[in-house]
Amino acid sequence: MKSRSGSQRRHLATSPFKQKVEPEVPRFALHDRVSHQSYGLGRVINEEQAAVTVDFGDSTHRIVSPFHKLERL
């Protein structure tokens, strides 16, 4: 949870609640072969900080982070 100023709250060691763990977002490199659940097999043709552009042969799609349906082959 973030406060109004945008910074995360400090987790206290005595807190009865578990600290929220941020999931690790996979990184894709240029020319990585990938598989998407909807679009099929493709190749990464452009990478950005929070998105990748993938060429699936018949179409090109920009997929934003987090990459739930995209996996590296």
Query: Does position 1 have pLDDT exceeding 70, yes or no?
Result: no
Q: How far apart are CA 44 and CA 52, in angstroms?
A: 7
What is the Cα gyration radius of the chain? 17
Share of the chain above pLDDT 90, in %: 52
Whether this prediction's pTM lies above 0.85 is answered by no
> In the structure, what pLDDT confidence band is assigned to residue 18 with cuts at 50, 70 and 90?
confident
H or E, element range at 63: strand 60-64
Query: Does position 45 have pLDDT exceeding 90, yes or no?
Result: yes
What pLDDT sits at residue 11? 80
User: What residue has token string 């240029």?
Assistant: 30
Give the domain ranges of the chain.
33-72
Averaged pLDDT for residues 31-50:
94
Q: How far apart are CA 50 and CA 26, in angstroms?
A: 10
Q: How far apart are CA 73 and CA 57, in angstroms?
A: 16
